[in-house]
Every structure is written in structure tokens, then in C-alpha cells.
Amino acid sequence: MPTTSGPSRRESDDDLDVPSGTQALVLTPSLRSPLSAVPPAAFENTLVVSNTRPPRKVEQLVRDRGGDPNAVGLVPVSGSPVDYDGPLWTTSVVHPNDLSGIYERFDRGMNHVKPGEGWVVFDNVNVLLMYAERSGVENLLESVASNVRRRNAAGAYALVRDAVTDETYADIASVFDVERDFSDDGH
């Protein structure tokens, strides 16, 4: 995986600081959202694809980081209905095994991501691997990352490293430009 200029591939920082257009694999502990790693400026224009947190929790994370939920869009990925009437712009809920549905909603949300300024945060790749074939998840991630690169937006994609095999990790990591390790054990 090529690296961009700046911090080393494995460096652990307080904030994920990557140039526009860079797609970063973010290694996280299972309970940490990549939203806690993106820089505060990211919350000026962000699209979140979340399958680990309901909209209210995403909204609270944005508020906790000093962001404006009105500047954040959300694609809720859940096996259960989602009832939310708050400031986040949201798509309809999509099941985690519906990879084409996830992409369709993500693609619609990309219309709101500003070139050169916006961020896409994908929370959490592991959940999709529980519902869909690895090759399908890799194809989805490749399509999402390519779309975000074309828009010249930054991307952060969470993966719990200890929850996947070395082969799965290597295949998924190959999609991204850089990797940042925010896991507790520094794996």
C-alpha cells in the first residue's frame, strides 16, 4: 500500500490528518468510531456510512467533537428499522448484506460532499464482513474509495484488525492509500 507524504503509515496520532483525496484505512478498537479520529475541520462537510451506531449516537459523536450535525450526512446500515428525526441528513436504512443498496445510498450522499473539503467516514468494515462475502465487501470498498478519490475528498474506513484474518486484512488494506493505527494495542 503506498503512503502519502506526512506521518508514517503506522503512526498513531490524536487526529487522522490526511490530504484531500487520500483514502485511509483506520485500525480501531471495536468500540471506537473513526469519527473520534478525524480532525475537527472534517465536521464541516462529512458523509458517514455507519453500521455500528444509530443516528442519535452519530449525532452525539459529532456534537462531542464540536461539529455541527447539520453539516453531516448519514447512511444508516442496520438489520433493524431506524427511527430518527434530527439534524443529520439521512438516507433510508439499508441492511448490511445489501452491498448494492449501501453503494446506491452512499453515491446519493456523495452529491453533498464538497470536492477538496469533504470527508467520508465508513464505520465499520468488520460488520459488512459478517453479512457478505469478502470479495463483495472488497468490491464495495474499492468502488466507494474510488468515488471519494474522484471527488478529491478524504476518507476514513474503520477496521478492527484483530477481528479479521491476515489474508482479509491484506486484501482490504490494498484498497487504501495509507493506514493509521488508532487501536489500543498498537497492532
Predicted local distance difference test score (pLDDT) of residue 48: 97
Q: What is the pLDDT along the chain (187 residues), one digit of tens a residue?
A: 433 333 333 333 468 989 999 999 999 987 788 898 999 999 999 999 999 899 999 999 999 999 999 999 999 999 999 899 999 999 999 999 999 999 999 999 999 999 999 999 999 999 999 999 999 999 999 999 999 999 999 999 999 999 999 999 999 999 999 999 988 644 4
| pTM for this prediction | 0.89
Contact 59, 87 (CB under 8 A): yes
Residue with C-alpha cell 487504501? Answer: 176
Domains of the chain: 23-181 (3.40.50.300)
